[in-house]
Chains A and B, each alone.
Chain A
Amino acid sequence: MKQIWQVCLKDLKVELRSRIVIFQVLPFAVLTIILFAFAFEADRAALRDYAPGLFWVTVLLATFLFVLRSFSIEVEAGAIQSLRLSAVKPQYIFFGKALALFIGMFILEVILGVATFFLYDVSVESPSLLIVSAILTTAAIASAATLYGILSANLKARETILPLLMLPVLIPVFLGAIRAFDDALGAVAVNGWAWLSVLGVFAFIYAVFGSFAFGEILEEVE
């Protein structure tokens, strides 16, 4: 447990120093939200209705950038190499990294959520559902993204391979997150709570499988 936390803290420190989230990913995400508003010709009703989907598309794109950047920094700095040589178990490294990614993504989602709230003029019907589903979704995305991040970390064409591998896999999460938000924002009359099970199962599978596969891949990363 302590080791997980150490790996996570180390990642967060790198994050704070490089400021990728604040200066690169977040502006991009907000820009995307604004572009969607133009695409819908600033139609208030449409934006309010489709806010959940647009929000999560933006989050997925931002995740992709975030993972790409943070893992390439890691490879360039040779940090993975030193982690592998350290005595920390691969499983712990996986969970530490996923946790760090989770925290970074969650902060990003909160800021992006506030921006969406004001720009798209949405109202929140069920704050508890909103928060629980966001946490579960972020956990699912973070565990899948950590696995694919390390997987593509030292490939030459990682910019193109990573989204091709990661985005189709995240479609169930994407659907679930949209439906849960639909309910939480009162956009569509669906039972959002039911979707939490899909998100939970997905997060669980990826956390378990990812932690095992991580060791398998880590052995080979230079």
Chain B
Amino acid sequence: MNLSTGSYRTKILGLVMAASFIALIIFAFWVSPNDDQQGGAVRLLYIHVPLAISTYVCYIACGIASLVFLIKKKIWWDYIALSTAEIGTIFCGLTLLTGAIWGRPIWNTWWEWGDVRLVTTLILFLLFLGYLALRAMPSSNPNANVRRAAVVAIVATIDIPIINRSVEWWQNRTLHQRSTLVELKIEDWTFFTLVLGFLAFGLLIIWLTIHRFRVAWLAGEIDSLETELALKKRLEESNI
């Protein structure tokens, strides 16, 4: 019996994805040059930057899917919201981790409170941890839980710009703001590798979302099967 959540199309997608990641590794470590200022540490940015962008893509997708779910009430959208939130949170955690690892040699610190993006991303991470915790709660009324989660996700997504703005203003107190985006000199291979990173991570998001969606779909099916079974039993008992 075929038990995989993969299908013919996802297998092809998966192969392309794997190939692009291998290409990314080759380009990031052998083809692209060292940076004048950062030296080899620039190679961390080839995963860090795509990770960060992917985080925001996932979270915004989660917010949109939640909104559509509340309007259309199709559980389908809720599965997408759950999948993207979970994947986004993994990306977010890795963004923070690779950022810290990059910051240690370049900024000489693991964590820099003066950086807007760092702090914003951390808060975002906490917000979606709350969302996932809510989703993981067993509930007597799954329908209610799903709606609550949708509201929380929408609020979290709306909050992204507010948090960013407020953190930016907040740390202006000392008046010397550290520039976050290190001036990446757009040399041919550096730029190409970065684009390759976006491509690989884009494919990864799609591939992961499809599989995670199918797992969510299966979980939903199991729930409804159990309900059907219980109902049947009840009916049989009452007939006798």
Contacts and interface: CB of A to CB of B under 8 A. Distances in A.
A22 interface: no
A71 to B, nearest CB: 13
Contacts of B154: 209, 213
Interface centre among A152, A155, A171, A205, by most chain B C-beta atoms within 10 angstroms, is A171
A161 interface: yes
Contacts, number: 84
Interface residues of A, dominant DSSP? helix
A161 B159 contact: no
Contacts of A165: 130-131, 134, 152
B162 interface: yes
A151 interface: yes
A151 B151 contact: yes
Given A161-B133, A217-B147, A220-B147, A169 B127 contact: yes
A201 interface: yes
A198 interface: yes
Contacts of B156: 169
A209 B170 contact: no
A201 B162 contact: yes
B165 interface: yes
A122 B79 CA distance: 52
Contact of B155 (A156, A160, A164, A209): A209
B158 A220 contact: no
A127 interface: no
A175 B133 contact: no
A147 interface: yes
Q: Which range holds the interface residue count of chain A? A: 20 to 34
Nearest to B140: A222
B199 interface: no
A205 B158 contact: yes
B117 to A, nearest CB: 15
A165 B123 CA distance: 11
A157 interface: yes
Contacts of A194: 169
A175 B166 contact: yes
A56 interface: no
Nearest to B126: A168
A161 B145 CA distance: 13
A188 interface: yes
Interface centre among B123, B138, B152, B154, by most chain A C-beta atoms within 10 angstroms, is B152
7 contacts: A156-B137, A165-B152, A168-B127, A169-B155, A169-B156, A175-B167, A217-B147
Given A176-B166, A202-B162, 19 more contacts: A147-B151, A151-B148, A151-B151, A151-B152, A161-B130, A161-B134, A165-B131, A168-B130, A171-B163, A175-B169, A175-B170, A190-B173, A198-B169, A201-B162, A209-B155, A213-B151, A220-B141, A220-B144, A220-B147
